[in-house]
Chain A
Amino acid sequence: MTAVVPAAPPAAAGPEPDPPSARRTRRLTPYWLLLPAGLWLAVFFAAPLVYQASTSVQSGSLEEGFRVTWEFSHYTDALAAYGPHFLRSFAYAAIATALCLLIGYPLAYMTAFRAGRWRNLVLVAVIAPFFTSFLIRTLAWKTILSDGGPVVGALDALHVLDVTGALGLTGDTRLLATPLAVVCGLTYNFLPFMILPLYSSLERIDPTLHEAARDLYATPAATFRKVTFPLSLPGVVAGTLLTFIPASGDYINAQLLGSPAEQMIGNAIQKQFLNVLDYPAAAAMSFLLMALILIVVSVYLRKAGTEELV
């Protein structure tokens, strides 16, 4: 739903008038360039979306078939039955996004300005986890965080688990099957999506701007506040969107690292599709999720300012 059609380069107006046929070719060029992406979107985005929209207002059963009856109650039913799942998904996704920003920003900053010849190595390290499957990486977390494992032992000895337990994030000296594990899993899995856009917008900042700030007696903190951070905002906005949107629809982390109390809306939709086989309800839930994400994101963009999002 955040698919963005790449903007076509505007046909440059040449200084000399071209012959009419060449001008027509040039005028049509952007449309030809748009065609592959447009077709791709139509087949893999628009058509399934229409199909889903239709499914969400059907009624019936698998064995008798589903017919369009304009049954809008699926939407209200889904909200009533799975309201907590929606809230939980957005809460986990928001926390994970904030954590990603906190962890990712310093790393992207250091990579862009201080890494020197290590820069490419750091970037490869950020991308490296993608060489393994998402599922395998999350399963690995199960081993790392297992009850008898070193992480739980160390955190328990340092009494960290007592603190998180008091906050309701963990329970009974374990990490697996707690909200903390799910949020950490989300943070881990989506961190690269935060770092890369941050890095690309930080890296584009002209270093002479920093020199100018220094010449004008700005402290390093003031330079960051007044120059670096505002210029990196497009990266922040892009990174938070790329993290928040997939994280709120994710179901693998809740499935593998959570208990029944941590299931997210993605899990509920998956169960509706595969176990209950109630396709209309599942489609309605997917649409609701999409609509809610759109609302959250547009409120956020209104606040953050879209004109900087490039």
Chain B
Amino acid sequence: MQNREKKVLVIGVIGADVHAVGNKILYHAFTEAGFEVVNLGVMVSQEEYIAAAIESDADAIVVSSLYGQGELDCRGMREKCDEAGLKGIPLVVGGNIVIGKQSFEDVEKRFKDMGFDRAFPPGTAPETTIEALRQLLHMDGETV
């Protein structure tokens, strides 16, 4: 990987989910925080995230899901990344990623078992995600 001024994030809303507002907010927040953001918009398939990540040599993939089907949509994504040569790429997920009242600890564990590095509950502020990304991408001390 070359030296780049900015870390590259691929973001989008996964599956048959058309919630566009949160996606736009994240795009602006990440860009503002100094990331280079490839925004795939809504209704993004796993393959689209992966294709965009390969071309842009992304540093992380940030998956949003608002409609409760996130767990189904995210299944197998880590394996597909491995298959596509994106071994070890940080995967982050957030939003209303499951239906019903469940303890987020359990939910987080399930997503981590699926190969996601971090999972965020509903109502997470963009700043929290940005901080987590900075940690994941070893950007401590750097001003992005």
Co-complex (A, B): no
Interface residues of B (CB under 8 A from A): none
Interface residues of A (CB under 8 A from B): none
